[in-house]
Amino acid sequence: MYNPKSLKAEEFISHEEILSTLQYAEDNKNNAKLIDEIIEKAKLRKGLSHREASVLLACELEDKNQEIYALAEQIKKDFYGNRIVLFAPLYLSNYCVNGCVYCPYHAKNKHIARKKMTQDEVRREVIALQDMGHKRLAIEAGEDPVNNPIEYILECIKTIYSIKHKNGAIRRVNVNIAATTVENYRKLHEAGIGTYILFQETYHKESYEKLHPTGPKHNYAYHTEAMDRAMEGGIDDVGLGVLFGLEMYKYEFAGLLMHAEHLEAVHGVGPHTISVPRIRHADDIDPSAFDNGIDDDTFAKIVACIRIAVPYTGMIVSTRESQASRERVLHLGISQISGGSKTSVGGYAEPEPEEENSSQFDVSDTRTLDEVIYWLMSMGYIPSFCTACYREGRTGDRFMELCKSKQIQNCCHPNALMTLKEYLVDYASEKTKKLGMELIKKELYNIPKEKVREVVVERLDKIEHGERDFRF
Ligand code: SF4
Ligand code: SF4
């Protein structure tokens, strides 16, 4: 029944295969010999199967767990260096016809403020985001064919890309909207989106159907097969994720990796990113009603094991997580974070009045983008606003080839320094600017090729004098 190459959800995410994987992991959680073999394989940096990675996740041997963490940290350094890419979410509309029981936008929630931005409002929000320094957005909208049809989403994307305020520009729009048709995915592709993101929420079909009692999202197969349709529609980069806390995390972990294996088997390219959200408090939603919540230690272990299992897949953590929790997982594998986020519809240009709460969840990390940038740099990370790859046509399998051969780093590092310089010159506070300039000076020496270093020095100087948007 289990077949990673099948296009049927229940075959590539086979419930039986997950149960047997969990049993195998449970049986071997103290099997030092097998765990050693898996760690050795992981050191080759070619990834692990869902079964192997599940054994590591289940491992109860303290010394082996320390090895797992150390390896995750090393892989993170090898593939991503000390760079962290920044983005912000932008909620376009919270009208939604679905009944997801964990989300305040569910159709039966009659007291939440419903909003849909006009193009003028989108413009104002994007200017506010540009004025913060953001270059990369993830747009979000509920599923509502009347209020948020694909034409509305496309119009918003067009508006976002068209705005050039002062030195600002949004250079990459990632899209997180409901599962849709191949035809609609093609339209998104043609609109020049970056990654198409869709969280599975849970891979457990029975739970999925209970958690999504009404609306089109109730259809497990249609939702689970969405990435195949997106790829058929020409979208090369897709982002997976589950909402940890809804189901047993070990089940979700195995399902997530099986999904990644399926994409690789069918399309020759795995997911571009994996997000690891945990359920949060929100209007009408109490996270304690979900009894599969995971603690910080388990969360860190999940991040480390994903890092080892799919080394070339970016990993995202949002402001759902607190500063402390983000700090803990950054070095274990996270490559992208949001900063200065608002999870309401609008709210960047003007804060939302309290009585009009339209948020999808409560933000844990409420710092400004400038504070986040300073914090990252003070820990030795290079905040990056790079969006170069898809603009240079480095997407899908082309991108993965560069990642797997580690050549991508020849682009990532200089791009990080140049986009950070833009941020420092245009948006940073004095304190952040000072720290950032020192960091850039130091990091220039980590560009291995002298020729490239010379070009970067020249371009950094041009940025100082007003030129923008250099990239490798
Ligand atoms: S999770 Fe998405 S589909 Fe479900 S209610 Fe919220 S906005 Fe709608
Ligand atoms: S060069 Fe590509 S992979 Fe590297 S940070 Fe930029 S967009 Fe990401």
How would DSSP label each residue in 158-182?
Answer: HHHHH---TT----EEEEE-----H
Assigned domain for 451 exists: yes
Distance CA 270, CA 261 (A): 7
> Which pLDDT score is estimated for 248?
95
Ligand 2 lined by 130 (C-beta under 6 Å)? no
Q: Measured in angstroms, how far is the CA atom of residue 278 from the centroid of ligand 1?
A: 15
Atom of ligand 1 nearest to the CA of 106: 5
Which amino acid would we find at residue 362? Answer: D
Ligand 2 lined by 417 (C-beta under 6 Å)? no
Q: Whose CA is nearest to atom 4 of ligand 1?
A: 100
Ligand 1 lined by 96 (C-beta under 6 Å)? yes
Ligand at minimal distance from the CA of 106 is 1
Ranges in the chain, pLDDT < 50: none
How many folded domains does the chain comprise?
1
Ligand 1 lined by 245 (C-beta under 6 Å)? no
Ligand at minimal distance from the CA of 408 is 2
Q: Whose CA is nearest to atom 4 of ligand 2?
A: 412
Distance CA 346, CA 36 (A): 50
Q: Measured in angstroms, how far is the CA atom of residue 387 from the centroid of ligand 2?
A: 6
pTM assigned to the model: 0.97
Contact by Cβ (8 Å): 92, 140: yes
Ligand 1 lined by 142 (C-beta under 6 Å)? yes
Ligand at minimal distance from the CA of 392 is 2
Degrees to nearest 5, angle at CA 279 with 273 and 283: 125
Ligand 2 lined by 409 (C-beta under 6 Å)? no
For the record, the structure tokens of 371 come out as 């504070």
C-beta neighbour count of 317 within 10 angstroms: 24
Helix (H, G, I), strand (E, B) or coil at 43: coil
Ligand 2 lined by 263 (C-beta under 6 Å)? no
* Residue ranges of E strands in 253-364: 273-275, 314-317, 336-338
Assigned domain for 177 exists: no
Residue from 94, 95, 97, 98 to probe ligand 1 pocket by mutation (most atoms less than 8 Å from CB): 98
> Which pLDDT score is estimated for 409?
86
Atom of ligand 1 nearest to the CA of 141: 7
> Which pLDDT score is estimated for 74?
97
Assigned domain for 16 exists: no
Assigned domain for 159 exists: no
Residue from 143, 199, 344 to probe ligand 1 pocket by mutation (most atoms less than 8 Å from CB): 143
Atom of ligand 1 nearest to the CA of 96: 8
Structural domain boundaries, residue 445: 408-463
Assigned domain for 46 exists: no
Q: Measured in angstroms, how far is the CA atom of residue 215 from the centroid of ligand 2?
A: 37
> Which pLDDT score is estimated for 441?
97
Q: Measured in angstroms, how far is the CA atom of residue 421 from the centroid of ligand 1?
A: 37
Q: Whose CA is nearest to atom 5 of ligand 1?
A: 106
Q: Measured in angstroms, how far is the CA atom of residue 89 from the centroid of ligand 2?
A: 19
pLDDT in tens, 4-41: 999 999 999 999 999 999 999 999 999 999 999 999 99
Q: Measured in angstroms, how far is the CA atom of residue 311 from the centroid of ligand 2?
A: 15
Distance CA 324, CA 37 (A): 33
Residues 290/296/298/299 CA torsion (nearest 10 deg): 80
Assigned domain for 421 exists: yes
Helix (H, G, I), strand (E, B) or coil at 247: coil
Cβ-based burial of 292 (10 A; exposed 0-12, middle 13-18, buried ≥19): middle
Ligand 2 lined by 389 (C-beta under 6 Å)? yes
Residue from 80, 337, 408 to probe ligand 2 pocket by mutation (most atoms less than 8 Å from CB): 408
> Which pLDDT score is estimated for 281?
83
Assigned domain for 434 exists: yes
Which amino acid would we find at residue 74? Answer: Q
Residue from 105, 214, 220 to probe ligand 1 pocket by mutation (most atoms less than 8 Å from CB): 105
Q: Measured in angstroms, how far is the CA atom of residue 141 from the centroid of ligand 2?
A: 26
Assigned domain for 59 exists: no
